[in-house]
Amino acid sequence: MPLPPSSRRVFLAATGAAAASVWIPRPVKGYAHTEVRAASLDDVGISKWEIDTPALCVDLDRLERNIAKMQAAVRKNGIATRPHAKTHKTAAIARLQLAAGAIGICTAKLGEAEALFAAGIEPLCMTTSNLSPRKIRRAMQLAKANRQFIQAVDAAGNARDLSAAAREAGVTADIVVDVAVGTRSGIPPGDDAVALAKLVDTLPNLKLRGLLSYDGGAQHVNGFAARKERALKGLEGNVETREAMKRAGLSTEIFSGGGTGTYSVQHLTPGFTDVQVGSYVFMDMQYLAIGSEDGDAVYKDFEPSLTVVATVLNNRFPGRLTTDAGAKALTLNVPRPGVVGEPGMDYNPGSDEFGVITFTEARRTYRMGDRIEMIVPHCDPVVNLYDQMYGVRGDKVEVVWPITARGRSQ
Amino acid sequence: MPLPPSSRRVFLAATGAAAASVWIPRPVKGYAHTEVRAASLDDVGISKWEIDTPALCVDLDRLERNIAKMQAAVRKNGIATRPHAKTHKTAAIARLQLAAGAIGICTAKLGEAEALFAAGIEPLCMTTSNLSPRKIRRAMQLAKANRQFIQAVDAAGNARDLSAAAREAGVTADIVVDVAVGTRSGIPPGDDAVALAKLVDTLPNLKLRGLLSYDGGAQHVNGFAARKERALKGLEGNVETREAMKRAGLSTEIFSGGGTGTYSVQHLTPGFTDVQVGSYVFMDMQYLAIGSEDGDAVYKDFEPSLTVVATVLNNRFPGRLTTDAGAKALTLNVPRPGVVGEPGMDYNPGSDEFGVITFTEARRTYRMGDRIEMIVPHCDPVVNLYDQMYGVRGDKVEVVWPITARGRSQ
């Protein structure tokens, strides 16, 4: 399909808003609220062990290998990637994914789509429905500025609201029907889902593009065989819905779902077009625990690239360290943070401001002020705590990326 | 003590940085990354049920009553408040606390102190030590700009580092010794702590102001009598340390600690000067559960003022609702979010992007698009997820406050 000409640059130029696609240091000195980012630029070139902590770091070699490996794997299987930006919220990483061959970028929230578009990302698919009149109006404004914006719908009333708002905005909105896998969101597969697709196809100012079918619960099923079975069986009703849509002459150009846990089997789902993989860029303690196809307890398809570097604040008591990275730096997700190089350490981030490490054996001694590095429990919510991410090659900071859509939950 | 003349305005004027004490809407239109805040200004005057969700709301009547009640209670007891900004991270609320009579504002992180100072808050006490050379340099720059900045120290080597950095920066830094209650941080009470205070008192470019003794663990002890006993007994060693400091002719002008759970008993600790109360402004499910002095299971001293408003995305299954507020909007702290007006509902925010409510009985029916409001599990980390807070009077948005120090964890 030929892509429509982009109106982003025209739109932004006309309205005086600068696209934040390149991160330009501000000339501000002093204690302006924006200075934290300008100050971070001074960090380019330093060792990652010198960054002020807690610091969110991504190993660029590993990140690049993860992106390349995912892209090669799904290409070999005859499908595509449409990576989910709810994980990284970072325009720079979306750009790497698109450059590697991704056909689009997903977002969970409208605010994420707006922020990424402002930073130059155009082929965007928002995977959650917008229900309130205000959000629908915002979504149609974005659709008007960005012809590559795709919206989800899972209810007939909502489809009619979208149609009316698209007409009012003077735009034809690209729509996918969100067909449920489970009970969380989406219209259940079957006749109602097909009827909704037909309704979207007939309503003015809407253009049906296909369907979404994301099975969040399948991603973390422990053990490859069980995960594969869940991923494929869970989508059987959705496959029937897609086939009924096709028989009815409706577009099934997009049949999207799957994630980091199921990317390697999702092409076995008939008609499937692309995987909405997110966590594979970073990995985390949760994904490391789901097990590999070869039976290994550790999921080794992708390399853990995301860490938080913290500082030891207290080493006074044997078998115990206090750090400056607690729940506000690492979240309360389980499994707990993994201390790099210290398999015998248990890291409790339960305090808001402090982490407490307990151990019986450590590989080295830790003094006050020493740095210590953790693999994060679950990458998505940890990334959402930080305004910037330090891109590290070896031990050296190569780039500091603003986390473009951090906190854009509305 | 006469306050030194403020150099903030001079400092900021000289460096071209504007103080963010008044929130001025930006003229930007379009999808610039900063627009989310400018757009929020359009929300002033609307109903809180129309705000795009998830939205962090504070009931201004309740907030004001909480601040007034706390101030009156400690004044009656002959001590002061030095409220902790790790809870609200919001200059506007710090200003309300100072206007009510607070003698200062605490911060947990250097970045918080920098951001609040840039927004016009001057009497600041950072309660955690800075250990790395870079952070110590930053702290001394802040001390130079803000003569009312007080820093904590809990180790002799660190005191020497602070002295050297203060000399290099050409400033005399105000210092409090952080004396531990428990094992998390601070120097244990006793001879070593007194020796550290003496060292601070003698080192060049440092000025000893007293000691901190915060017992985080005491705040959430269930039941008033047990909490009171823990709060007072836990500080016995710290009281002896303070008395030894006094006998040695060292400053004990500050003897600060305590929190929302112990504010009403902390004046019984000999020599105590002020409580570092934080959560009382908002309250949360955790503090509501600690029990009142009158034996009630609910802690009623302060009113819950902080809520998250969410939207119902799915009502298709009986006894089940999906909302747009998950772990990225409410955190995973326990007890879980409390649904306002629906005591029979259980709210599971375990999904990153979605909340799942289950119930057998509800007081009303919920359609897709309806709003629903939750008291937050634990206020501090929830506030840290949002860029702005909607100040609501009745059901009407009166003000939108930027959360000045959000994410300033470094």
The pLDDT score that the predictor gives to residue B213 is: 98
Interface test with A, best of B31, B112, B124 (most A CBs within 10 A): B31
Tell me the nearest-neighbour CA distance from B196 into chain A, angstroms: 15
Tell me the nearest-neighbour CA distance from B76 into chain A, angstroms: 31
pLDDT band at A196 (very low <50, low <70, confident <90, very high): very high
Q: Same domain for B145 and B268? A: yes
Q: Same domain for A249 and A328? A: no
Tell me the nearest-neighbour CA distance from B370 into chain A, angstroms: 9
Tokens of A27: 């000339």
C-beta atoms of B184 and A314 within 8 A: yes
Q: Which residues of A touch B119 (CB under 8 A)?
A: 33
pLDDT band at A155 (very low <50, low <70, confident <90, very high): very high
Tell me the nearest-neighbour CA distance from A5 into chain B, angstroms: 18
- The mean pLDDT of A389-398, rounded to a whole number, is 97
The more confident residue out of A16 and A121 is A121
Q: Same domain for B116 and B158? A: yes
C-beta atoms of B328 and A381 within 8 A: yes
Scanning A331-390 for CB atoms below 8 A from B yields 331-333, 351-354, 356, 368-369, 378, 380-381, 384-387
CA B181 – CA B367 distance, rounded (Å): 50
Q: Which residues of A touch B185 (CB under 8 A)?
A: 313-314, 322, 354
Residue B182: phi and psi, rounded to 5, are 100, -160
Amino acid making up residue B231: A
Nearest neighbour of B185 by CB, restricted to A131, A322, A331 = A322
pTM: 0.92
Nearest neighbour of B155 by CB, restricted to A115, A188, A368 = A368
Q: Same domain for A307 and A213? A: no
CATH of the domain at A363: 2.40.37.20
Scanning B223-282 for CB atoms below 8 A from A yields none
Q: Which residues of A touch B212 (CB under 8 A)?
A: none
Length of chain B: 410
Instruction: Show the 3-state SS of A96-151.
Output: HHHHHCCCCEEECCHHHHHHHHHCCCCCEEEEEECCCHHHHHHHHHHHHHCCCEEE
**A6 domain residue, yes or no:** no
| 3-state DSSP assignment of residue A320 | strand
A372-386 burial: b if 16+ Cβ within 10 Å, else e: bbbbbbbbbbbbbbb
Q: Which residues of A touch B181 (CB under 8 A)?
A: none
Q: Which residues of A touch B138 (CB under 8 A)?
A: 52
Q: Which residues of B touch A356 (CB under 8 A)?
A: 184
- Which chain A residue lies closest to B388 (C-alpha atoms)? A407
Within 8 A by CB and 6+ apart from B191, the residues are B244
C-beta atoms of A20 and B33 within 8 A: yes
Amino acid making up residue B91: A
Residue A229: phi and psi, rounded to 5, are -65, -45
Interface test with B, best of A353, A370, A383, A408 (most B CBs within 10 A): A353
Interface test with A, best of B276, B320, B409 (most A CBs within 10 A): B409
**CB-based contact, B75 to chain A, within 8 Å:** no
Q: Same domain for B237 and B368? A: no
- The mean pLDDT of A40-69, rounded to a whole number, is 94
Residue that terminates a domain, selected from A256, A282, A308? A282
CA B312 – CA A250 distance, rounded (Å): 29
The pLDDT score that the predictor gives to residue A77 is: 98
C-beta atoms of A184 and B32 within 8 A: no
Within 8 A by CB and 6+ apart from B296, the residues are none
**B255 domain residue, yes or no:** yes
Q: What is the pLDDT of residues A243-264, one digit of tens each?
A: 999 999 999 999 999 999 999 9
The pLDDT score that the predictor gives to residue B232 is: 97
Q: Same domain for A204 and A119? A: yes
Q: Same domain for B175 and B314? A: no
Tokens of B167: 């000399």
C-beta atoms of B134 and A406 within 8 A: no
The pLDDT score that the predictor gives to residue A42 is: 78
CA A113 – CA A120 distance, rounded (Å): 11
**A169 domain residue, yes or no:** yes
C-beta atoms of A332 and B329 within 8 A: no
Chain pair A-B, CB pairs under 8 angstroms: 220
C-beta atoms of B115 and A54 within 8 A: no
How open is the CA angle B316-B319-B325, to the nearest 5 degrees?
Answer: 75
C-beta atoms of B184 and A17 within 8 A: no
**B237 DSSP 8-state letter:** H
CATH of the domain at B119: 3.20.20.10
The pLDDT score that the predictor gives to residue B40 is: 62
- The mean pLDDT of A52-56, rounded to a whole number, is 98
First to last CA, chain A: 31
Within 8 A by CB and 6+ apart from B51, the residues are B43, B57, B309, B390, B397
Tell me the nearest-neighbour CA distance from B387 into chain A, angstroms: 7
**B359 domain residue, yes or no:** yes
Q: Same domain for B304 and B266? A: no
C-beta atoms of A332 and B328 within 8 A: no
The DSSP result for B289-340, as a single string, is: TS--TTS-SS--SS---EEEEEEEEE--STTEEEES--HHHH-S-SSPPEET
Mark the ranges of chain B whose per-residue pLDDT is less than 70.
1-41
- Closest by CA to B138, choosing from B148, B153, B149, is B149
CA A393 – CA A402 distance, rounded (Å): 17
How many domains are contained in chain B? 2
Q: Which residues of A touch B189 (CB under 8 A)?
A: none
Residue A239 lies in domain = 77-282
Q: Same domain for A243 and A111? A: yes
Tell me the nearest-neighbour CA distance from A30 into chain B, angstroms: 6
CA A346 – CA A360 distance, rounded (Å): 10
**A23 domain residue, yes or no:** no
The more confident residue out of A16 and A182 is A182
C-beta atoms of B380 and A328 within 8 A: yes
**B158 domain residue, yes or no:** yes
**A190 domain residue, yes or no:** yes
Q: Which residues of A touch B404 (CB under 8 A)?
A: 33
Quote the crossing angle between the two packed helices A156-169 and A133-145, to the nearest 10°: 50
Tell me the nearest-neighbour CA distance from B37 into chain A, angstroms: 11
**B36 domain residue, yes or no:** no
- ipTM for the whole predicted complex goes beyond 0.95: no
**CB-based contact, B216 to chain A, within 8 Å:** yes
The pLDDT score that the predictor gives to residue B42 is: 78
Amino acid making up residue A230: R
CA B292 – CA B225 distance, rounded (Å): 9
* Mean predicted lDDT score pLDDT of chain A: 91
Residue that terminates a domain, selected from A282, A311, A335? A282
The pLDDT score that the predictor gives to residue B39 is: 53
Residue that terminates a domain, selected from B225, B251, B282? B282
pLDDT band at A41 (very low <50, low <70, confident <90, very high): low
Q: Same domain for A219 and A323? A: no
The pLDDT score that the predictor gives to residue B34 is: 39
Tell me the nearest-neighbour CA distance from A245 into chain B, angstroms: 22
Q: Same domain for A252 and A174? A: yes
**B90 DSSP 8-state letter:** -
pLDDT band at A29 (very low <50, low <70, confident <90, very high): very low
Q: Which element (helix H / strand E) includes B174?
A: strand B173-178
Q: Same domain for B104 and B65? A: yes
